[in-house]
Amino acid sequence: MEKKEEILAAAARLFAEKGYRRTSLRQVAQAAGVSASAVSYYFGGKAGLYRALYPEAPDGADVRERIERAGLSLFAEEGYERVSIRDIAAAAEVNSAAISYYFGGKAALYRKILYRGTEMITEFVDIVSGKHPAPEEILRLYGAFLCRLGEERPEVLRVIFRELLAGTDVFHDFVRERLTLVTDILHRAVADGVAAGRLRSGLSPEGTSRVWAGMVLFFFLSRSLAADGLAKGSAKEYLAEAWRIFTAGVLAEGAERSGT
Q: Which amino acid is at 118?
A: T
CB within 8 Å of 228: residues ≥ 6 apart: none
Per-residue pLDDT of the chain (260 residues; tens, 9 = 90+): 588 888 888 888 888 777 777 788 888 889 888 888 888 888 888 888 887 887 765 456 688 889 999 999 999 988 899 999 999 999 998 888 889 888 989 999 998 888 887 887 888 888 998 888 999 999 999 999 988 888 888 888 888 888 877 778 888 777 777 778 889 999 999 999 999 999 999 999 999 999 999 999 888 877 755 545 455 678 888 899 999 999 999 998 766 655 55
| DSSP assignments along 108-161, one per residue | HHHHHHHHHHTTHHHHHHHHHHHH---HHHHHHHHHHHHHHHHHH-HHHHHHHH
List own/partner pairs for 6-11 with CB under 8 A and 24 or more apart.
Answer: 6/32, 6/33, 6/34, 7/32, 7/34, 7/38, 7/39, 7/42, 7/43, 7/49, 8/49, 8/52, 8/53, 11/49, 11/50, 11/53
Sign of the CA dihedral with 95 first, then 99, 102, and 104 last: negative
Q: What distance in Å separates the CA atoms of residue 52 and residue 141, rounded to the nearest whole number?
A: 49
Structure confidence at residue 143 (pLDDT): 93
Q: What distance in Å separates the CA atoms of residue 138 and residue 126, rounded to the nearest whole number?
A: 12
Structure confidence at residue 70 (pLDDT): 94
Structure confidence at residue 227 (pLDDT): 47
Q: What is the DSSP code (8-state) at residue 254? A: T
* 132 Rama class: left (phi>0) / alpha (psi -120 to 50) / beta: left
Q: What distance in Å separates the CA atoms of residue 256 and residue 246, rounded to the nearest whole number?
A: 13
Q: What distance in Å separates the CA atoms of residue 76 and residue 113, rounded to the nearest whole number?
A: 11
| DSSP assignments along 192-231, one per residue | HHHHTTSB-TT--HHHHHHHHHHHHHHHHHGGGGGGGTSS
Q: Which residues on adjacent β-strands are paired with residue 251?
A: 199
Sign of the CA dihedral with 78 first, then 80, 85, and 89 last: positive
Structure confidence at residue 241 (pLDDT): 92
Q: Which residues on adjacent β-strands are paired with residue 199?
A: 251
